Amino acid sequence: MNRPPPAVRAVLFDRDGTLVEDVPYNGDPAQVRPVDGARDAVRLLRARGVRTGVVTNQSGVARGLVSAADVRRVNARVDALLGPFDVWAVCPHGPGEGCPCRKPRPGLILTAAARLAVEPAAVVVIGDIGADVEAARRAGAHGVLVPTPVTRPEETAAAPHVAPDLATAVRAALAGPPWPAAPAAGGDRRENTPPATVPGCRHTGPAHAVPGPQQADPAHAAPPHADPQHPDPAHPGPQHPDPAHAYADPAHAGREAGHGRRPR
Ligand SMILES: [Mg+2]
Ligand SMILES: [Zn+2]
């Protein structure tokens, strides 16, 4: 019963403050600046055959601070500079909406993993705040925290694994997570629900996200619940107190990266 942990097959990155400099609720592609080492880190993963993705909270959409179209353009810029990533999963909801995807909830990670047909235990999530690694834990994946000035000391202290920069984080991921995957497979607090039950949080890959054929463990190959392309032409903008509208545009949504600090 003690299966050895699976080799890492996918690495999912937080966007703001992790892959690119954190510009609060950025809706301008021109302001996208990759973090030092991001390009090489992602390239190394691709060279090793590890799938890559982005899992990002973008509550700026729900807050009415950026439009879905703006976010789409920003994500496309990130993809142009660092991608293409194999999958994007975006939560456009606000903190009060109770959606299943906003980190630290596990929805985005479960969804991305399903779309890649990779079991969560073979996924490493790299982010800059506690919500990122907590979401990984709840999904049954492995979290690596790469602290920035906005990272709270207690978050760093609580992280299962901490790396000083992206290059180090990626090397750790490739070496195989020596840290435990979620608090035990017995699943105390794991919220390992099939993404198919996640209603509002769509994901996609910006136009390209091609998951590819890799059928991992059939048991985990649950069909992605989202339709990859989910355009969302109909949602001009956020400001919907109504959660049903919040997920207008899947693959993109403004920022937010879970910086609970900023929008307080
Ligand atoms: Mg972040
Ligand atoms: Zn959400």
Looking at 16, 70, 79, 86, which residue is catalytic?
16
14 catalytically annotated: yes
How many angstroms separate the alpha carbon of residue 151 from the centre of ligand 1? 9
Do 139 and 123 contact (CB within 8 A), yes or no? yes
Say whether pLDDT at 6 is over 90.
no
- For residue 243, which ligand has an atom nearest its CA? 2
CA distance 252 to 58: 7
Please tell me the total number of residues recorded for the chain in this structure. 264
Reply yes or no on domain 11-246 having CATH 3.50.50.60: no
pLDDT score, position 176: 84
How many angstroms separate the alpha carbon of residue 85 from the centre of ligand 2? 20
**3-state SS, residue 142:** strand
Q: List the 10-13 sheet strands across, edge first.
A: 142-145, 123-127, 10-13, 51-57, 87-91, 203-204
Instruction: Return residues with CB closer than 5 A to ligand 2 (ion).
Output: 91, 93, 99, 101-102, 201
CA distances from 4 to 38, 99, 125, 135, 169 (A): 30, 33, 19, 22, 21
Domain boundaries, the chain: 11-246
pLDDT in tens, 148-202: 999 999 999 999 999 999 999 999 999 987 554 444 333 333 344 434 333 344 4
Strands (E) across 129-226 are located at 142-145, 203-204
**Residue of higher predicted confidence among 213 and 4:** 4
pLDDT in tens, 111-123: 999 999 999 999 9
- For residue 258, which ligand has an atom nearest its CA? 1
The reply to whether the predicted model has a pTM over 0.75 is no
Nearest to 32 by CA among 76, 63, 67, 62: 76
Neighbour count for residue 238 (Cβ, 10 Å) = 27
79 catalytically annotated: no
How many angstroms separate the alpha carbon of residue 175 from the centre of ligand 2? 31
How many angstroms separate the alpha carbon of residue 167 from the centre of ligand 2? 29
What string of DSSP letters covers 19-67?
TB---TT---GGG--BPTTHHHHHHHHHHTT-EEEEEEE-TTTTTTSS-
